[in-house]
Amino acid sequence: MFNQLWILWALPLVLIPLVIHLLNRLRFRRVEWAAMSFIQKATKHSTRQAKLRQVLILAARMASILFLILALSRPLVGGWMGLALSSPPQTIIVLLDRSASMENRDASSGKTRRESALELMSGALKQQHQGARIILIENINATADEISPEILNELRLTGPTDSGADILKMVETALEYMLNNQTGKTELWIASDLQRSSWGPDNSRWASVLDQLRALSDKRGVMVRLLALGNRTPDNTSLTMSEAVRFRSMGRSFVDLSLSLQRFEDGVKQIPVKVELQGKSVAEMDVTMERSEHHIRKRLELPPDTGASWGRVVIPDDPNNTDNEAFFVFGEETLVTTAIFAESRKVAAHLALAAAPAPDSMKQRSQVVAPTELAKTDLTAYALVIWQGEMPGGEGATMLIDYMKQGGYLLCLPGQADGGHLGPYLSWSELEQSPDKSVYTIAHWDNTRGPLADSLDGKGLPIDELQITVRRIPVMDGKTLAEFSDNSVCLSSRSVGLGTLVACATLPLDDWSNLNAGPVLVPMVQRLLRSGAGRLAAATLAYCGEFKPEDGEEWLPLGQGAAEMSCDSRSGVYSFGGKLLAINRPDAEAVQANVQQDRLETMFSGLSFQLFSDVNNTGDKALPSETWRLLLYGLLMVLLVESALVLPPKVREGM
């Protein structure tokens, strides 16, 4: 890259010494002379030395002109911009990944990945801006905004966030901008830590976007420069919040917190964890991590008459402080109701008892509804909906799916006849009967979180004692919560919109299983009910970057540092109209899985693509630098060599 590219038009001047030399050669006419031929043969060695000296003098004079022209053109070399021998672009589109993982801080430089990226790009833009239009696209708004390179580091749009990133969406925005505007020769500068969740390399949309980018590059020239920042940080610990569920038991009010700690490396490490309620510490514990991931369930007893409230869980500082805290909110105590649609009265009775074992003290109620009455039922009032039997079709299926998309929890159990299907989300296999004098048993289940998790005192549910004689396997694309000894699914769950679908392979009937005994059924239903009740409370958990306020809503931050917080980009607790909202980092930001560089080179094949990965927050190593001083030193050296060559040889005494 040259700051004064037009000066390179003077490169033909390098040939001036050669032209002068050839013209001088034309002044003489060769004449054969016997005496001179004898002298030439006698002094053959000296003649060769003279010719070599003339060639070196000619090369030195041509090199001196070349060094002078290159120095005047002010070339840029080194760093992530240094290998491009081309004219400056007319438009530079900066794609800045400012997701939560970009806040990992390097121990030697003290800078975060985002800060290093801004320093590198700002320096490059100031050195070779040359009037190019600078467009910024970042991961929160994903809009193309024209900026000045002088204020790149000072913009709010380049500050830290607690959200994830969608690099594909940002590239799509850049492509749309180039298609709708006369950008001329364009360069895309992408700054990212290559986190797999941000890139989504398996997304089928990449192929179409990159094909359009290649076609556009053939017309006007598009270059992609990728600045890959940072390595994995094994000494960093991430804290994530799964849910906060308020419930009532034995006349007292509690809130259950589900948390996870994650590290990149295995090994024993003790992590102090502190729980705060409205800014005041209410619990402290030391968690011993023996693996890369550790799940925590903490129960807090609330003071009497506690209404809707909020809190925070925090761990000590480490290389990335943005993932050291998680927020939670919970609403006031309310009556929660479960709707049970069952083709079997016995099944309905068992489920109704499991959903409300102590209606008055636990403020719970179960309501049995005939499946034929589904169309007349308002599902939005229920914390949990249980469906047993053949799945409804048409309007009934649409109602159940819409209920889940709005945050509802749906538990499905099979029927005696054909199970049917619930849209693309669930279908049932054929009915299976266990062989004579044998039963199906559960071999594996998730005891860390979810409806089958161990209790807070470490006691597990007696799931291995279940004896199942009849089953119908749920067919769904979800997470297996429990599986039989033959690896078939017994209990599975998946997200549908904001809600959750859970399917069980057997029934609480004597001729199906001993699930009706209660030690497994009641805790499973109660946990699903508590999770579903959060939707009805005036308190919501959401992920940063995914929550979008409705028009006219102004969510105000609560707690420390409230003045600097915004619900669209920073985690924290917010309130609006008596409602509480807890915003946390996406769980995917805690997973240190990166896209391999060879995969990226394959993806961007066919484009002018440069990947600079030798950046570990080391500052100037990645900055392009001007080399005209070195060229001037080279010019002086060449002139010294040329002056030495033109000096006449010394004449020895007596000659």
117-169 pLDDT per residue, tens = 898 888 778 766 667 899 999 999 889 999 988 888 888 899 999 999 999 99
| pLDDT for residue 498 | 79
Tell me: pLDDT of 36 over 80: no
In contact, 338 and 356? CB cutoff 8 Å: yes
| pLDDT for residue 44 | 57
Tell me: pLDDT of 81 over 90: no
| pLDDT for residue 130 | 63
| pLDDT for residue 84 | 44
- DSSP-assigned letter for residue 588: G
Instruction: Give the whole-angstrom CA distance, residue 13 versus residue 4.
Output: 17
At residue 253, what is the residue type? Answer: S
What lies within 8 Å, CB to CB, of 81 at 6+ separation is: 1, 124, 128, 225, 624
Residue-wise pLDDT tens digits, 422-465: 989 999 999 999 988 799 999 999 988 889 988 877 789 999 99
In contact, 54 and 621? CB cutoff 8 Å: no
pLDDT tier at 98, thresholds 50, 70, 90:
very high
Q: How far apart are the first and last CA of the chain?
A: 56
Phi, psi (degrees; rounded to nearest 5) at 425: -95, -30
- DSSP-assigned letter for residue 453: P
Q: Hey, CA dihedral for 636, 638, 642, 644, is it positive or negative?
A: positive
pLDDT tier at 616, thresholds 50, 70, 90:
very low
In contact, 411 and 504? CB cutoff 8 Å: yes
What is the arithmetic mean of pLDDT over 562-577?
83
Closest CA to 532 of 387, 340, 382, 368: 382
| pLDDT for residue 214 | 94
Q: All domains of the chain, ordered by start, with CATH? A: 5-28+35-75+630-646 (no CATH), 88-232+593-626 (3.40.50.410), 237-332+537-590 (2.60.40.10), 336-533 (3.40.50.880)
Instruction: Give the whole-angstrom CA distance, residue 626 versus residue 73.
Output: 10
Q: Which of 171-180, 449-458, 500-509 has the lowest mean pLDDT?
A: 449-458
Mean residue pLDDT of the chain comes to 86
pLDDT tier at 318, thresholds 50, 70, 90:
confident
| pLDDT for residue 583 | 92
Tokens of 491: 């209990």
Instruction: Give the whole-angstrom CA distance, residue 323 versus residue 308.
Output: 25
- DSSP-assigned letter for residue 459: P
Q: Where are the beta strands (DSSP E) in 8-125?
A: 76-77, 91-96
What is the arithmetic mean of pLDDT over 486-490?
94
Closest CA to 195 of 586, 569, 544, 591: 591
| pLDDT for residue 433 | 93
624: left (phi over 0), alpha (psi -120 to 50) or beta: beta
| pLDDT for residue 560 | 64
Tell me: pLDDT of 258 over 60: yes
